[in-house]
Amino acid sequence: MTITYGTTPKIIGLPVLVEKRPPRPVLTAGQREEAAACHRIKQGSLEEDIAGWYSETVAFADSLATRYGNTRDHYVNMMFKSPDKLRAAECKPNAYNAFLHHLAKEAKEQDDDSTLDAAQLSAAHHEQYKMLSNQESAAFVEELMETRQAQQYGLCVTQRACMLDIKRTTQLIEDLASLQSRVGIQVMYLIVRSNPELDLEPLWFFTEPALEDYLRSTVRKFEPERIGILAEAFSVAGSDLFSQLRTNREKVNWLKSEIRRMVVDGLIEVTSDAEAAMSYAQYTHDIQLKYGVPLVGWTHEKWCNPSDLGNSLPSLKTLHDALKDGDCMFKHLTDAEKAVIQQEYDNNLKNTVSTSRKRPSDAGHKRKHARIEESDE
């Protein structure tokens, strides 16, 4: 069984601003009828042109099949997939597009509608673009990338924008249901809100009702309604498991467990050794000298296994937060620092051996015990 977890979303504190829509012109009945007639003529002409293009495309695909083999559909699919590759290449920001984006943004901020056309911007500022330095070009590219990230990860401002985004995203997930007929998979999901201001009930999705029925009858207490409510309450509360614990004992045990886990995770990450294990009793030998990585930023006065740190919630929370925020972490030693630790370790080892109990000179020989003679009375 494989368990995977979603990546931490990249949060950008820039809201997606909703552009004001210009008021629609009020048309008379005759004007609406005339506009509809023009639209029908335009749509018919467009469909005729597309049909002609498609016929030429099919004929070209037939010629490719004759010259190179394979089927006509193979080359039609190749040609229809090419726009995706072209679009992906066009999405990569370049200095020229970034420069035009900056000009269009400035014009929009100044409410100058006459300069928003890309062709006009390009013609009017072509010489200015040639005079840009590398630093200025890089700054425009960075500005464009930040704008795109804000559009992708920014916060939706209005309720309508949020619901449209949710609907679009859930539709993409539900489209995976078509994989059931192609490769044989099932899809289920639960969506709950973390923003209390969002008017959204928990959303479950199953590719087929039989999957839900099976889970209800097989998994003990699998109640989607109750699970959705609990997940929503936890998410709205900030997804903070610590705040959901009731007793001090539960909180202490959870903090100690998390501290041990984060220490081991940090050791594995810094050493790139998936089998690395933390040693508290032999910390100098097994961690500092073996891996060359000491743990810095330990907030407790006592260095020991987290199980022996006591039951003070504030001090445990301080250490937990330090590990979480990166204030307490493993770092690599330099060769000079490691040599100093090695020398201190060797000296301590020698002193420990020298102060230990010396072996008796008659060790290994049978000792003679004095015999007490009983006196005659």
Q: Give the pLDDT confidence of 210-239 residue by residue, as tens digits.
A: 888 999 999 988 898 899 999 998 888 888
- pLDDT of 117 reads 65
244-264 per-position pLDDT tens digit: 788 999 999 999 999 999 999
**Of 19-23, 67-71, 329-333, where does the model show the most confidence?**
329-333
Range of the domain at 95: 47-156
Is there a domain that residue 373 lies in?
Answer: no
Q: Show the CA angle centred on residue 60, arms to residues 55 and 63, nearest 5°.
A: 130
pLDDT of residue 264: 93
Domain co-membership, 74 together with 125: yes
Q: Is the pLDDT of residue 362 over 50?
A: yes
> Do the domain assignments include residue 25?
no
- Average pLDDT for the chain: 81
Task: Confirm whether 114 is domain-assigned.
Answer: yes
The residue with greater pLDDT, 95 or 367, is 95
Q: Is 290 found in the same domain as 222?
A: no
Mean pLDDT of 293-321: 91
Stronger pLDDT, 222 or 376, i.e. the higher one = 222
pLDDT at 375: 46
Which among 136, 156, 176 is the end of a domain?
156
Q: How many helices and strands in the chain, by DSSP H and E? A: 16, 6
Same domain, 252 and 303: yes
> Which whole-number Å values give the CA distances from 307 to 205, 300, 303, in the listed order?
42, 13, 11
Q: Does residue 287 surpass a pLDDT of 70?
A: yes
User: Residue 10: what pLDDT?
Assistant: 57
Answer whether residue 84 shows pLDDT above 70: no
Same domain, 152 and 165: no
Q: Is there a single domain that holds both residue 172 and residue 150?
A: no
| CA-closest candidate to residue 64, choices 55, 54, 76, 52 | 76
Is the pLDDT reported for residue 11 higher than 70? no
Please identify, among 219, 239, 259, the residue that sits at the C-terminal boundary of a domain: 239
Phi/psi-derived region of residue 339, left when phi > 0, alpha when psi is between -120 and 50, beta in every other case? alpha
Q: Would the pLDDT of 376 be above 50? A: no
DSSP lists the bridge partners of residue 295 as: 330
Q: What is the pLDDT of residue 104?
A: 81
Q: Please indicate, yes or no, whether residues 190 and 121 belong to a single structural domain of this protein.
A: no
Q: Looking at the structure, do residues 91 and 182 belong to the same domain, yes or no?
A: no
Q: Is residue 192 part of a domain?
A: yes
Is 204:189 a contact under the CB 8 Å cutoff?
yes
pTM for the full predicted model: 0.52
**For residue 265, is pLDDT > 90?**
yes
pLDDT per position as a tens digit, 113-133? 555 566 777 777 878 888 888
Same domain, 132 and 163: no
pLDDT digits (tens, 9 = 90+) for 309-321: 889 999 999 999 9
- Counting the structural domains of the chain, the total is 3
> Is residue 119 a part of any domain in this protein?
yes
**352 — pLDDT class (breaks 50, 70, 90):** confident
- Please report which confidence band the pLDDT of residue 2 belongs to, taking 50, 70 and 90 as the band edges: low
Give pairs for 42-46: CB < 8 Å, separation 24+: none
Residue 95: band (very low, low, confident or very high) from pLDDT cuts 50, 70, 90: confident
Is the domain of 175 the same as that of 76? no
Alpha carbons 128 and 211: distance in angstroms, whole number: 62
**Residue 294 CB partners (closer than 8 Å, separation 6+):** 287, 288, 330, 331, 333, 341
With respect to residue 12, please indicate whether it lies within any of the assigned structural domains.
no
Average pLDDT over residues 77-103: 71
For a pLDDT cut of 70, what percent of the chain falls above it? 79
Tokens in use for 198?
């969002």
On whether residue 191 sits in a domain, the answer given is: yes
Judge if 271 and 327 occupy the same domain: yes
pLDDT at 374 over 90: no
Residue at 186 is within a domain: yes
Asked if 66 and 143 sit in the same domain, the reply is: yes
Q: Is residue 169 domain-shared with residue 124, that is, in the same domain?
A: no
Q: What share of the chain has pLDDT > 90, as a percent?
A: 27
Q: Is the pLDDT at 377 greater than 50, yes or no?
A: no
Helix (H) or strand (E) holding 57: helix 29-68
Q: What is the pLDDT of residues 142-201, one digit of tens each?
A: 888 887 776 666 667 688 888 888 888 888 877 776 777 777 778 888 999 988 888 888
